[in-house]
Amino acid sequence: MKPYADRLPTAVRQILTDIIVVLWVYLWIRAALWVNDMVEKLGVPGQRLESAGGGIADNLTDAGNRVGGVPLVGDQLVKPFNGAASAARSIAEAGRQTQEVVDTMALVVALIAVAVPFALVLFLWLPLRVRWMRRAAVASAVRDQPAGRDLLALRALASQPLNNLAKLGPDIAQSWRNGDAEAVDALAELELRSLGLRGPRR
């Protein structure tokens, strides 16, 4: 694999694009973490509710245990305390469930925040980058071989815009079919230049 072009303008553009993509992904990750933190703060009331409900339930249970020891009426006195403690535990449970919902929501929102930029990188930028690297690697491997120059010339005829081919002359395709070395080299050079690679060694 060839990561960057030989020609300076193309290589600089590729390096700058790679840096921008990395920074862009990093900033989106930071933004997702920030969103996660903001949503997590919505769980603070749930934490307080759980803490308060649990504390009240414990205090009521302790009080119920104390009054439960009163002779004759202890069993009757403890019932209201046990009922109130049960209600307080329900409040604490509601607070805990609220925190779970907020945690899940914070995670989902953070994932959504990074999903779109990551999808753009994975399905748009990365395939184009890998495609160029493969094409450049093959072109670099064959550019100094006579048969390789002919392949590059054929590739240029098949893929280069017509206006670029026309600049090489109106009979460039016929010259290539006739095996004209200058036409082959010109087409190979065109293909290599479009990839940002240096021409074949003479």
> pLDDT per residue over 110-167, tens digit each?
999 899 899 999 999 999 999 999 999 888 888 878 788 888 998 998 888 888 888 8
Helix axes 8-40 and 74-120, enclosed angle (nearest 10): 170
Mark whether 77 and 153 lie in a shared domain.
Answer: no
The residue with greater pLDDT, 80 or 150, is: 150
pLDDT at position 14, please?
A: 94
Distance, first Cα to last Cα, the chain = 24
Cα separation of 51 and 159, whole Å?
69
Q: Which of 88, 26, 91 is nearest to 61 (CA)?
A: 88
DSSP designation for 2: -
Q: Are 151 and 138 in contact (CB under 8 A)?
A: no
Q: Specify the length of the chain in residues.
A: 202
Average pLDDT over residues 88-105: 88
pLDDT at position 121, please?
A: 93
Average pLDDT over residues 41-68: 81
% of the chain beyond a pLDDT of 70: 93
Cα separation of 137 and 192, whole Å?
11
The pLDDT confidence band at residue 200, using thresholds 50, 70 and 90, is low
Mark whether 105 and 47 lie in a shared domain.
Answer: yes
pLDDT at position 170, please?
A: 82
Mark whether 86 and 159 lie in a shared domain.
Answer: no
The pLDDT confidence band at residue 175, using thresholds 50, 70 and 90, is confident
pLDDT at position 134, please?
A: 92
Structural domain count, the chain? 2
Evaluate whether residue 37 is within a structural domain. Answer: yes
Its domain, for residue 147, covers 143-202
Of the three residues 100, 133, 166, the one that is the final residue of a domain is: 133
Mark whether 6 and 52 lie in a shared domain.
Answer: yes
Evaluate whether residue 138 is within a structural domain. Answer: no
Average pLDDT over residues 65-78: 65
2 to each of 137, 142, 185, 190, 197, how far by Cα in Å?
Answer: 5, 13, 22, 19, 10
Mark whether 73 and 25 lie in a shared domain.
Answer: yes
Of the three residues 105, 133, 161, the one that is the final residue of a domain is: 133
Most confident of 12-21, 44-53, 58-67, 150-159: 12-21
DSSP designation for 43: G
Tokens of 4: 């960057």
Mark whether 152 and 117 lie in a shared domain.
Answer: no
Q: Are 188 and 199 in contact (CB under 8 A)?
A: yes
The pLDDT confidence band at residue 51, using thresholds 50, 70 and 90, is confident
pTM for the structure as a whole: 0.72
Backbone angles phi, psi at 18, to 5 degrees: -60, -45
Task: Report the C-alpha dihedral over residues 78, 81, 86, 88, rounded to 10 degrees.
Answer: -170
The pLDDT confidence band at residue 71, using thresholds 50, 70 and 90, is low
Q: Are 81 and 60 in contact (CB under 8 A)?
A: yes
Mark whether 26 and 120 lie in a shared domain.
Answer: yes
Mark whether 127 and 148 lie in a shared domain.
Answer: no
Evaluate whether residue 3 is within a structural domain. Answer: yes
Q: Are 95 and 56 in contact (CB under 8 A)?
A: no
The pLDDT confidence band at residue 72, using thresholds 50, 70 and 90, is low
